Amino acid sequence: MTAREWVIVNPGGSHRVVVTGELPGERWLQLLTAADCRVEIAQGHEVLVAAELRAAFANPCDAVIGQITESWSEEMLGALAAAGALIYSQYAVGYDNVDLAAATRLGLPVGNTPGVLTETTAQLAVALTFAAARRIAEGDRLMRAGAYRGWLPTMLLGSLLFRGTLGIVGAGRIGAAYGRMMVEGHKMDLVYHDVRENEELERYVADYAAFLVARGERPVTCRRAATLPELLGACDVVSIHAALTAETQHLIGAPELAAMKEEAVLVNSSRGPLLDEAALVAHCRAHPCFRAGLDVLEREPAMAPGLAELDNVVLVPHLGSATTFTREGMATLAAANAAAILQSWPVWPAARSLEDVRPFLEDEAPPRAAPSIVNADALGLPRLAASPQGKEDQQ
């Protein structure tokens, strides 16, 4: 393990905040320095291993801003609490790498960054859907290899998704946003599978269906599938947006892939372990007309043997939230969580959409609150009394 370089900003600050990786933008640093924080930022692109993390907050430490690639186990969180930390703030909306129950037992707030990446990640899922369905990556490779010899009627035939059937596994914020994009843009019927009924999404599709009827067009439909196999067999596209838990690991494996249509498209922009990568490789080899688009990997950054050689799989390196606006916004929210807790400010009402968190991103004087503490209620942390008006609830 090589010695890690660190950059220190505002060295005279009274609160010590450790940031485990370089973050984009400047607003996040401004929020922390305005809160009188000494900010220590790890340099380089390598993920901090456990020993490096523990060494980073070995001295008294008030807060850590960490990343989804790190493992925040009960032992690690206990060491952080013992160092005097008042918050662990995650630079991500997901927190399956954090033992939330342990953090709560330790009285340690855990922050995350919802709202700002919903549309961006859904947009990436749409991009993967059509890159796979229309064989964009194959065409790009053909062009770059100088193998294009002119237009042919049978070259790289893909799938027309217009008026097809779309399946969403996990209809939370991002899944619902992706569904709306595909239904509105391509008039697809929607089937979703989730532990909870998404009444808002169903109303949205029903309203859009009424609009189509008013224009003399065939309506679209939306229904909740009682079981996952029911969804898989019915859909031309299946996009995974479920949370990763012990129960959902390998949610899609060999039996589920076999239940899908021969020429279906499978997209995963959620968490890699939701999909059995080895099973996907075997299925794609046996079914060359089946296509997949992956933004996440089961053992990231490693790929399952054979995955990279498959022409019918589109691969991108975890780009779901990778727009300048979103990544800078995530940094701002993560920093705002830390700054607020260190200053004993309350927690913002539950953030479900971009509009809910926009004041933190754009207002000259951001709210004096923590944007999102996932265990706020369990810890009895106070919230602002009034919710922002006119906000969209995306679940």
Q: Which are the catalytic amino acids?
A: 271, 300, 318
CA distance 195 to 171: 9
Which helix or strand (DSSP H or E) is residue 229 part of? helix 228-234
Question: Is the CB of residue 323 less than 8 Å from the CB of residue 120?
Answer: yes
Beta-carbon contacts of residue 54 (< 8 Å; ≥ 6 apart)? 76, 79
Length of the chain: 395
DSSP letters of 296-315? S-TBTTB--TTGGG-TTEEE
Q: How far apart are CA 68 and CA 78, in angstroms?
A: 18
Edge-to-edge strands of the sheet including 165-169? 222-224, 189-193, 165-169, 237-240, 265-268, 291-294, 313-315
- CB-based burial label for 324 (10 Å; 0-12, 13-18, 19+): exposed
* Of 110, 115, 106, nearest in space to 98 by CA: 110
Residue 188 tokens read as 């697809």
Contact 113, 330 (CB under 8 A): yes
DSSP codes joined into one string, 315-374: E-SS-TT-SHHHHHHHHHHHHHHHHHHHTT--BPSPP-SHHHHHHHHH-SS--SSBS-BT
